[in-house]
Amino acid sequence: MRKTWLIFSQAVTVSLAVLFVLATLKPDWLGRDGSAGAPEVVSVMTAPKVDGKRAAVIGSYSAAAKLATPAVVSITASKANRGMQSNDPWFNFFFGEQGRQQAQIGLGSGVIVSPEGYLLTNNHVIDAADDIEVALSDGRRATAKLVGSDPETDVAVLKIDLDRLPVIAFGDADSLEVGDVVLAIGNPFGVGQTVTAGIVSALGRTQLGINTFENFIQTDAAINPGNSGGALVDATGNLMGINTAIYSRSGGSLGIGFAIPATTARQVMEGLIKDGVITRGWIGVEPRDLTPEIAETFNLPIKEGVLITGVLQNGPAGDGGIRPGDVVTHVEKTPVKNTSQLLTSVAALKPMEKAVISVQRGSKSLDVTVVVAQRPRAPLARR
């Protein structure tokens, strides 16, 4: 019995020694399921494929860019040189017709918003241009016709005659919030179509001194000279604004750009297409923001409104009974807290119709009825 036990112990010891050697020197000879030589199976995740290509990863806006960029065009606006030299006989003798008609060329961008060929751009891009050429991203070119422009919002409408035009869809700019992702598309410095990304930095920017009527979307998406008139789109490729201006000390982008909301641009476009001009209300007053210091000086019971410092004689406001020193608080029940809001609210009124304007006169609150007039067009010097 003892001999049998000794043999069994030796056999177990040898077997364990063999397994140890194999596990150390040839581990691949031992399978996990007990079968020698069977490879180990590893579970992995493979990114899904679309048409043989890697699917867009989270954070990519390539789909929005592909949707919007075909509708963004480059605009070349040329102006004939009308300097005094062109009328100088000596200038004409030395330089001839070519020198006399030497053109000044400006570059900008535009957005196709209608299959009929209507484009939106900035007024300052095409202002006083004699010839406007539009270049599409597919290589086609066309001469554009100016439908109309509105210097007070810096919006212009062009029209081209081409078939199968790519069109961008209008988004709901009023639904934008600070922090939303936006893309700026245009032709900066004439290098070609470019897409930059950023976020909405602020909304309702006013009193920048750029336009008469201001309600800008501020963004940190890089906007440079040449981007003017281009598209500001959301993460799905819908049009949210028309890129207009930048704050810069060097001429390049510092991350502070401004765009006209698409809702404003669309309203102006529809008015220009329908009537050729934009009709706005006007009451003939000189406004100033009401500050806490002014309110305290005049012992006013209100803290917000617009102080009227001057009233045009025989103008709508004067005839209606508004006086210098009155503080406008509401226009047709719409609150006004600053000069920009007053201008916008009055401009929205229809000429030749009556409007109720609420004012604070000392300690009294009054409702004044005014017959609205049509706002005069901005003088050339201002444009």
Full set of structural domains in the chain with CATH: 66-159 (2.40.10.10), 173-275 (2.40.10.10), 281-374 (2.30.42.10)
What pLDDT is attached to residue 249?
66
Residue 334 CB neighbours (<10 A)? 12
Mean pLDDT, residues 259-265 taken together? 90
Question: Annotated catalytic residue: which of 109, 149, 201, 228?
Answer: 228
Q: What is the pLDDT of residues 364-373, one digit of tens each?
A: 999 999 999 9
Within 13 Å of residue 238, how many CA atoms lie on the same side as its CB? 14
Tell me how far apart the alpha carbons of residues 345 and 331 are, in angstroms, rounded to a whole number: 7
- Which residues are paired to 246 by β-bridges? 257
Mean pLDDT, residues 129-145 taken together? 91
| DSSP annotation string for 87-108 | G-HHHHHHHHHHHHTPEEEEEE
* Catalytic (active site) residue 228: yes
Which of residues 120 and 253 earns the better pLDDT score?
120
**What element of type H or E holds 260?**
strand 257-261
Tell me how far apart the alpha carbons of residues 230 and 69 are, in angstroms, rounded to a whole number: 10
Give alpha helix (H) positions in the chain: 2-25, 62-68, 89-100, 123-126, 262-275, 292-297, 316-320, 339-347
Among 197, 80, 204, 186, smallest CA distance to 135 is for 186
What pLDDT is attached to residue 50?
38
Contact between residue 231 and residue 186 where contact means Cβ atoms under 8 Å apart: yes
Query: Residue 5 — pLDDT band, cuts 50, 70, 90?
Result: low
**DSSP character at residue 170:** B
* Catalytic (active site) residue 124: yes
Tell me how far apart the alpha carbons of residues 227 and 146 are, in angstroms, rounded to a whole number: 19
Average model confidence (pLDDT) across the chain = 80
Q: What is the pLDDT of residues 302-356, one digit of tens each?
A: 888 999 999 998 899 999 999 999 999 999 988 998 888 888 889 888 899 999 9
What pLDDT is attached to residue 308?
92
Contact between residue 228 and residue 136 where contact means Cβ atoms under 8 Å apart: no
Question: Annotated catalytic residue: which of 109, 149, 154, 326?
Answer: 154
Mean pLDDT, residues 24-29 taken together? 62
Helix (H, G, I), strand (E, B) or coil at 294: helix
